[in-house]
């Protein structure tokens, strides 16, 4: 029973992550390049990014590949991350629940039995455990993704493919290069932990207020509503960590290692643009993150109930 529930969570997570990535990839590319402007050209914004993309393409046929540059590594990263996260989150909740209540894990009959008895603190603890593990395991993918999506295909230093990026990264920086930006990434886990805590808590209060059984499938509208609120709050709360992670994983970080340390970056960004500089690209991130998470969780919840 336990292995089947865990397998269903991973399958639902992989499916939702795959679909979400394909739909929202162009927004992800714009968001990433805006984040990198915080250190390279803080006075520029959306128009600069859009003009650059249009300049790199020579028509509609070449515009699509530019907008979807890095799609392969993005799919790999998001599908892997969501699959790991949902699976580990389910595993963490079961483990925390069994320790907290004294139940053996093989005695747990359903996900809903666990969720019914958990509170915000246990949700937060479970989400943090799964987030930290996922961040460490997937960080190499995000480094390669950042470098592919930050450049056009004709740039001198650009990676030609995911495999080419892995090879070049290992050759030039060794194994340590794959874990660039891990510090802010681990701190950024708070976003996922906060999101899942808010999302599960909202579901729990909704079921309690309406008298609906917890094993009842939420409608897509209910999912979108709870997801949107949870995502906007969680993304805004820890966005500077995401901005720092992107900059620490960029080609610029490789070229200017001494000046591209987390504390140095914070000081330089703050000196150039103040506190708002640490939130450069937030609106683009929300435009991407809220609908993408709505798609992810609608697909996830429907897949989970179907399985």
Q: Residue 290 maps to which CATH number?
A: 1.50.40.10
Domain residue limits at 91: 2-306
State percent of the chain over pLDDT 90.
21
Q: Which residue has the higher pLDDT, 197 or 260?
A: 197
Give the model's pLDDT for residue 209.
81
Contact 253/149 with Cβ under 8 angstroms? no
How many domains, in total, are found in the chain? 1
Contact 297/17 with Cβ under 8 angstroms? no
The number of angstroms, rounded, from the C-alpha of 278 to the middle of its chain's C-alpha atoms is 18
Q: Is the pTM of this model over 0.85?
A: no
Give the model's pLDDT for residue 217.
67
Give the model's pLDDT for residue 74.
92
Pairwise CA distance, residues 26 & 29, whole Å: 5
Could you tell me the two tokens for 185? Answer: 């990434």
Region 249-257 average pLDDT: 78
Region 89-99 average pLDDT: 79
Coil, strand or helix at 63: helix
């Amino acid at each position: 029973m336990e292995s089947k529930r865990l397998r269903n969570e991973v399958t639902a997570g992989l499916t939702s992550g795959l679909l979400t990535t394909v739909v929202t990839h162009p927004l992800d590319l714009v968001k990433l390049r805006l984040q990198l402007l915080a250190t390279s050209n803080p006075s520029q914004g959306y128009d600069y990014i859009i003009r650059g993309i249009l300049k790199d393409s020579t028509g509609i046929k070449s515009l699509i590949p530019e907008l979807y540059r890095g799609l392969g590594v993005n799919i790999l990263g998001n599908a892997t991350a969501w699959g790991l996260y949902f699976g580990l989150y389910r595993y963490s909740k079961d483990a925390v629940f069994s320790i907290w209540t004294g139940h053996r894990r093989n005695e747990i009959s359903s996900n809903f039995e666990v969720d019914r008895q958990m509170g915000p603190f246990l949700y937060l603890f479970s989400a943090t455990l799964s987030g930290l593990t996922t961040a460490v395991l997937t960080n190499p993918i995000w480094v390669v993704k950042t470098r592919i999506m930050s450049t056009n295909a004709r740039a001198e230093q650009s990676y030609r493919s995911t495999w080419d990026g892995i090879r070049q990264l290992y050759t030039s920086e060794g194994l340590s290069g794959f874990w660039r930006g891990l510090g802010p990434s681990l701190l950024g886990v708070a976003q996922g932990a906060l999101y899942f805590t808010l999302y599960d808590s909202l579901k729990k209060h909704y079921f309690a207020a309406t008298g609906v059984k917890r094993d009842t499938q939420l409608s897509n509208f209910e999912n979108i509503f709870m997801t949107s609120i949870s995502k906007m709050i969680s993304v805004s709360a820890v966005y500077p960590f995401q901005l720092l992670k992107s900059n620490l994983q960029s080609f610029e970080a490789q070229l200017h290692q001494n000046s591209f340390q987390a504390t140095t970056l914070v000081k330089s960004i703050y000196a150039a643009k103040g506190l708002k500089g640490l939130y450069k690209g937030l609106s683009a991130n929300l435009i991407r993150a809220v609908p993408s998470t709505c798609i992810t969780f609608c697909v996830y919840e429907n897949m989970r109930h179907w399985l």
